Amino acid sequence: MSNTQILVVEDEVFIALGIKKQLESFGYYVSGIASSGEDALSKVIETSPDLVLMDIVIQGEMDGIEVAKRIHDQFEIPIIYLTAYSDHVNLQRAKTTEPFGYLLKPFNDRELEITIEIALYKDRVQKRMKDQQRWYSSILNSLGEAVITMDIHQTVLFLNPVAQTIFQLKKQDSIGRNLMEICPLWPQVRDLEEWIAKALHEQCAVRKSNLCYETLDTTIILDLCITPIKNEEGVLKGVVLIFSDKTEQSQMEQIIKKKVPDLQHDDLLPPLTLREKQVLEHIVEGEATKVIADSLNISPRTVEFHRYNLMRKFNVQDIPSLVRHAISKQLVPVN
């Protein structure tokens, strides 16, 4: 027996009872029958149904479309319209509530069953996608780097709080606009647009270091990584720009150099974590990402993350440069 609860909103008693009998024969549980909009809203709050079957013409001050809009906006419960009316006006109004189905009376059992199954499936998929989007958004918002995503036309789709703070941008004024129109870094770093175009055209990561961004009261030193965004089919959808604030690190290096003039740059090499050292050793051996991941029992994405951090720490732009740097500075044992 299904645990799915369905609310029926229908002001004709015999029709409502007939629909209830049909639903129970499909294995669904009818959480209630409402004859008016006010009654429907009360039962939604009371029973939290998984789906609402909504007649358009019902008793009370609100018709079914008005009630559906409130349920959609406040509770995000899927709606299927059951109606004898197919006129253009009602259809257009109904579309604004994003229904999961629209059945014209009279309908048979099979039509109703299929429409409900499809609606419940679509609802599960949409909720799963929304949960994933919230999760990814939460991750991006919690990062210490400034993150800006754009489509292939360089229209801003997302920017996290760090990006808003560094570039003094407001999210509501930035989404949907061209990055070059809003980003104060671009007039100072004229090659930015060219780097983005390269990442899009060649579909490869572009990394730049020690970019100077002047604000009214300070200078910020930034490292930048521009990475293409592709969907599951490999189709290019845009790019993500990740800005790392290196100001404090740069200032500390300058202070150390001034206090100890004879200090060599080798002594300023950033420390590596144990995992970074392990990944670096495998990279120097010329192993592919998958092989490294299997050897260290980590995911390929984790390997890529450590490789990106290593390249950023040593200010190199590609793998051969990273290998040469590791060997010349004796960061890993070489056979």
> 45 and 159, same structural domain?
no
Q: What is the pLDDT of residues 56-68, one digit of tens each?
A: 888 888 988 999 9
pLDDT reported for residue 258 = 67
pLDDT reported for residue 52 = 95
Q: What is the pLDDT of residues 256-275, one digit of tens each?
A: 666 655 544 444 556 788 88
CATH code: domain of residue 241: 3.30.450.20
> 278 and 256, same structural domain?
no
| Mean pLDDT value across residues 152-167 | 90
Q: How many domains does the chain have?
A: 3
Alpha-carbon distances, residue 131 vs 127, 150, 204, 230, 303 (angstroms): 6, 21, 29, 20, 26
For residues 178 and 156, give the distance between their C-alpha atoms in angstroms, rounded to a whole number.
Answer: 6
Residue listed under structure tokens 């420390």: 271
Other CB atoms within 10 Å distance of the CB of residue 225: 19
pLDDT reported for residue 265 = 47
Q: Which residues contact 104 (CB under 8 A, 6 or more apart)?
A: 83, 84, 86
Query: Strands of 206-214's sheet, edge to edge?
Result: 156-159, 146-151, 236-245, 219-230, 206-214
Among 37-41, 278-282, 317-321, the range of highest mean pLDDT = 37-41
Other CB atoms within 10 Å distance of the CB of residue 243: 23
> 128 and 11, same structural domain?
yes
pLDDT reported for residue 31 = 93
Domain end point (choices 212, 232, 262): 262
For residues 316 and 180, give the distance between their C-alpha atoms in angstroms, rounded to a whole number.
Answer: 27
Output the average pLDDT for the chain: 85
> 120 and 162, same structural domain?
no
| Mean pLDDT value across residues 110-137 | 87
Domain end point (choices 115, 136, 157): 136
For residues 56 and 90, the answer to whether their CB atoms sit within 8 Å is yes
pLDDT for residue 119 is more than 70: yes
Q: Where are the beta strands (DSSP E) in 14-58?
A: 29-34, 51-55
Residue type present at position 332: V
At 323, is the pLDDT very low, low, confident or very high (cuts 50, 70, 90)? confident
pLDDT for residue 1 is more than 50: no
For residues 260 and 255, give the distance between their C-alpha atoms in angstroms, rounded to a whole number.
Answer: 9
> 292 and 221, same structural domain?
no
> 16 and 96, same structural domain?
yes
Other CB atoms within 10 Å distance of the CB of residue 143: 14
At 140, is the pLDDT very low, low, confident or very high (cuts 50, 70, 90)? low
pLDDT reported for residue 263 = 47
- Identify the domain containing residue 276 by its residue range: 269-335
> 321 and 290, same structural domain?
yes
> 39 and 89, same structural domain?
yes
Extract the tokens encoding 113. Answer: 């069953």
CATH code: domain of residue 55: 3.40.50.2300
Q: What is the pLDDT of residues 161-205, one digit of tens each?
A: 889 988 888 988 999 999 888 888 888 888 899 999 999 999 888
> 276 and 255, same structural domain?
no
Kindly state the percentage of the chain with pLDDT values over 70. 92
Kindly state the percentage of the chain with pLDDT values over 90. 33
> 154 and 72, same structural domain?
no
> 171 and 111, same structural domain?
no
> 283 and 248, same structural domain?
no
CATH code: domain of residue 280: 1.10.10.10
Q: Is 102 helix (H, G, I), strand (E, B) or coil?
A: strand
For residues 292 and 280, give the distance between their C-alpha atoms in angstroms, rounded to a whole number.
Answer: 10
Domain end point (choices 84, 101, 136): 136
